[in-house]
Amino acid sequence: MHIAITGNIGAGKTTLATQLAVHYGWEILMEAVEGNPYLKDFYEDMPRWSFNLQIYFLNSRFEQVVKVRESSRDVVQDRTIYEDAYIFAKNLFESELMSPRDYQTYRRLFDNMLELVRPPDLMIYLRAGIPKLQEQIRKRGREYEKAISETYLANLNRHYEEFVAGYLAGKLLVIDVDRLDYATRPDDFQTILRQIDGILEEFRLRA
């Protein structure tokens, strides 16, 4: 089974993916943030580095797609290949932070890759408002993320909501995390587990 955690920057994807991997014994695939050679440059000069960064993420995400296809274990993934194109690259293009030429090149590559992509069995979208995102970003203290603007986060949220509203490829669970703190409050984590357990039981009954 392939479970994917989606959501904006600072929504809590990595934390939840890690907790679920431990709880269920799933294999975890993390987003390529640590050691990413473009992130710092990107946040300092988005128009210059947007294409480079998106290609880096797209490649790393496609590598994960291959791993999921080849794995015999249940897998939980931190962010999906869909978000790279339908949310982040699209937002950069519409915000004039990626040129039309680069965006078209990127989308052609993504569309070719998509022929080999199988959607996750369960996609979990973590919905978070701007104050929650900013608080989480501030807490983790990544120096390069200090340059992220409220407008940038708001635009990403808008694209996420549009993506989720039209997502029909598989089972979708939307969790509003504004009032949740599953990292430190066990009851909040249990609330999420009950929802996931119900969906996993549906899968078992269908199998």
Say how far apart CA 65 and CA 69 lie, in whole Å: 6
41 belongs to the catalytic site: no
> Per-residue pLDDT tens for 63-112?
999 989 888 899 999 999 999 999 999 999 999 999 999 999 999 999 99
146 pLDDT band, cuts 50/70/90, is confident
12 pLDDT band, cuts 50/70/90, is very high
What stretches of the chain show up as alpha helix (H) in DSSP?
Answer: 13-24, 39-44, 46-70, 81-83, 90-94, 100-114, 130-140, 150-165, 186-206
3-state secondary structure of 141: coil
50 pLDDT band, cuts 50/70/90, is very high
And the tokens for 168?
Answer: 């029909």
Residue with the two structure tokens 């975890």: 28
Point out which residues pair with 28 in neighbouring strands. 76
Instruction: Write down all domains in the chain, each with its CATH number in brackets.
Output: 2-206 (3.40.50.300)
Which pTM value belongs to this model?
0.92
Say how far apart CA 106 and CA 58 lie, in whole Å: 9
pLDDT at 76 (0 to 100): 96
pLDDT at 163 (0 to 100): 96
pLDDT at 4 (0 to 100): 96
Contact 61, 15 (CB under 8 A): no
pLDDT at 74 (0 to 100): 93
Comparing CA positions, the residue from 11, 19, 29, 33 lying closest to residue 183 is 19
| Active-site residue identified among 41, 45, 78, 181 | 78
- What string of DSSP letters covers 9-67? TTSSHHHHHHHHHHHHT-EEE--S-TT-SSHHHHHH-HHHHHHHHHHHHHHHHHHHHHH
